[in-house]
Amino acid sequence: MEQGNIFINQGISEIPDRKMAIIAESLYLLNLLILPGIAFLALVWLFIKYDNVSTRISGCHLRQTFSASIWVGLLLVLVTWVMLSTMNHDSPYTWMIVIPYFVICHSVLVLLGIMGLAKALAGKKFHYPIIGPSS
């Protein structure tokens, strides 16, 4: 179990590295599933507070989930809003595009989050494909 019980530093000594990674991934999933916005704000707070002091596992998960959550907002809120505001609400074709887009996009983002959480539980790094920062 890589870095499983190593403490990050004195400032956040009560949060082990792996636990921080798990919290970050959980907040990403909570933002997508039951606490949209609130969980994202908690993740932002965590990112601002601990990004500079966290070690490589938790730092990786914090950066990945923070970046992915911003993409979540763009893909699920902004793009959907743009589609709904530019397309005709009275046409079935609008809903034939918007609903599948939202469902597929949301499901894929959730699945990525589950895989990230599985990596965090195993104390390993995870890189979100396309929506996660490369470093």
Q: Of 12 and 30, which CB lies nearer to other proteins in the complex structure?
A: 30
> Which residues, other chains included, contact 73 with Cβ-Cβ below 8 Å and sequence gap of 6+?
40
Q: How far is the CB of 60 from other proteins (least distance, A)?
A: 14
Which is closer to other proteins, CB of 84 or CB of 121?
121
Q: Report the nearest approach of other proteins to the CB of residue 7 (Å).
A: 21
67 in Cβ contact with 133 (< 8 Å): yes
Instruction: Answer left, alpha or beta for residue 70, where phi above 0 means left and psi between -120 and 50 means alpha.
Output: alpha
128 to each of 38, 65, 90, how far by Cα in Å? Answer: 22, 8, 37
In the complex, least distance from residue 96 CB atom to other proteins, rounded to whole angstroms: 5
Residue 53 vs 103, nearer CB to other proteins: 103
Residues at the interface with other proteins (CB under 8 A): 1, 92, 95-96, 99-100, 103-104, 107, 111, 114-115, 117-119, 121-122, 124
Q: Is 3 helix (H, G, I), strand (E, B) or coil?
A: coil
